[in-house]
A and B are shown apart, each in its own frame.
Chain A
Amino acid sequence: MRYLPLTNTDRQAMLAVIGAKSIDDLFVDVPAEAQLAGPIAGLPNHASEMAVERHFSDLARKNMAASHHPFFLGCGAYKHHVPASVDHIIQRGEFLTAYTPYQPEIAQGTLQMLFEFQTQVARLFGCDVANASMYDGSTACWEAIGMAGRITKRHKAILSSGLHPHYVSVARTMAKYTGDNLDTALPTLTPTTDSARLLDAIDGETSCVVVQYPDILGRIEDLSAIAAKAHEHGALLIAVVTEPVALGAIKAPGEMGADIVVGEGQSLGVGLQFGGPYVGLFACKEKFVRQMPGRLCGETVDAEGKRGFVLTLSTREQHIRREKATSNICTNSGLCALAFSIHMTLLGEKGLRGLAQVNHALAVQAADRLTQISGVELVNDSFFNEFTLRLPKEARPVVRALADKKVLGGVSLGRLYPNTTDLENGLVVAVTETSSAEDIESFATALQEILS
Chain B
Amino acid sequence: MSALNQSGWKPEMGPSGDSKPATFTGNRALMLEEALIFEIGTTDTTGVDLPEVGGVASRLGGLERNRTIGLPGLSEPETVRHYTRLSRQNYAIDLGFFPLGSCTMKHNPRLNEKVARMAGFADVHPLQPVETVQGALAVINELAVWLIKLTGMYGVAMTPKAGAHGELCGILAIKAALEARGDPRSVILVPESAHGTNPATAAFAGFSVENIPATSEGRVDLDALKARLGPDVAGVMITNPNTCGLFERDMKAISDAVHAAGGYVYCDGANFNAIVGRVRPGDLGIDAMHINLHKTFSTPHGGGGPGSGPVVMSEALSPYGPLPFTERHADGRYSLVEEETVGERHPHSFGRMTAFHGQMGMFTRALSYILSHGADGLRQVAEDAVLNANYILHGLKDSLDAPFAHSGPCMHEALFSDNGLADGFTTLDIAKGLIDEGYHPMTVYFPLVVHGAMLIEPTETESKATLDQFIGAMRSVVARAKAGDPSLKSAPHHAPRRRLDETLAARKPVLVWREPDVAVAAE
Measured between beta carbons, the chain B residues less than 8 angstroms from A26 are: 383, 386-387, 390, 409
B227 on the interface (CB 8 Å rule)? no
Measured in the bound complex, the distance between the Cα atoms of B93 and A95 in whole Å is 10
- Which of B67, B69, B358 is most buried by chain A, counting CB atoms within 10 A of its CB? B69
Given A64-B132, A273-B122, A325-B196: A415 and B510 interface contact (C-beta under 8 Å)? no
A452 on the interface (CB 8 Å rule)? no
A36-B277, A108-B90 given. 19 additional CB < 8 A pairs?
A: A10-B463, A39-B277, A43-B150, A44-B375, A56-B139, A76-B355, A77-B356, A97-B92, A97-B93, A105-B495, A108-B89, A116-B36, A274-B136, A277-B359, A302-B500, A319-B197, A330-B163, A348-B44, A364-B56
Shortest Cβ distance from B299 into A: residue: A277
Q: Which of the 9-residue segments B5-13, B246-254, B259-267, B473-481 touches chain A?
A: B246-254
B506 touches A313 (CB 8 A): yes
B372 touches A60 (CB 8 A): no
B283 on the interface (CB 8 Å rule)? yes
Mask, A217-238, CB within 8 Å of B = 1, is 0011110000000000000000
Interface size on B, residues (CB 8 A): 203
B-contacting residues, A240-271, CB 8 Å: 247-252, 255, 264, 271
Mask, A112-153, CB within 8 Å of B = 1, is 110110111011100011101101111100000000000000
Measured in the bound complex, the distance between the Cα atoms of B95 and A132 in whole Å is 24
Measured between beta carbons, the chain A residues less than 8 angstroms from B506 are: 298, 312-315
A438 on the interface (CB 8 Å rule)? no
B461 touches A318 (CB 8 A): no
B138 on the interface (CB 8 Å rule)? yes
A299 touches B505 (CB 8 A): yes
A349 on the interface (CB 8 Å rule)? yes
Measured between beta carbons, the chain B residues less than 8 angstroms from A309 are: 500
Q: How far is the CB of A207 from chain B (nearest CB, A)?
A: 17
B36 touches A335 (CB 8 A): no
Measured in the bound complex, the distance between the Cα atoms of B65 and A357 in whole Å is 12
Measured between beta carbons, the chain B residues less than 8 angstroms from A160 are: none
Cβ-neighbour of B111 out of A15, A52, A399 (below 8 A)? A52
A3 touches B118 (CB 8 A): no
B27 on the interface (CB 8 Å rule)? no
Shortest Cβ distance from A336 into B: residue: B306
B76 touches A333 (CB 8 A): no
Measured in the bound complex, the distance between the Cα atoms of B512 and A299 in whole Å is 8
Main secondary structure of the interface of B (DSSP, over half): loop
Measured in the bound complex, the distance between the Cα atoms of B57 and A367 in whole Å is 13
Q: How far is the CB of B251 from chain A (nearest CB, A)?
A: 8
Q: Which of the 9-residue segments A161-169, A181-189, A198-206, A442-450 touches chain B?
A: A161-169
Given A36-B280, A419-B340: A308 and B497 interface contact (C-beta under 8 Å)? yes
B403 on the interface (CB 8 Å rule)? no
B-contacting residues, A86-106, CB 8 Å: 87-106
Given A75-B127, A106-B440, A306-B497: A220 and B63 interface contact (C-beta under 8 Å)? yes
Shortest Cβ distance from B300 into A: residue: A96
Shortest Cβ distance from B407 into A: residue: A29
B73 touches A346 (CB 8 A): yes
Cβ-neighbour of B380 out of A4, A85, A295 (below 8 A)? A4
Cβ-neighbour of A323 out of B91, B123, B209 (below 8 A)? B209
B120 on the interface (CB 8 Å rule)? yes
Measured between beta carbons, the chain A residues less than 8 angstroms from B408 are: 28-29
Given A75-B127, A349-B73: A65 and B120 interface contact (C-beta under 8 Å)? yes
B154 on the interface (CB 8 Å rule)? no
Measured between beta carbons, the chain B residues less than 8 angstroms from A179 are: 206
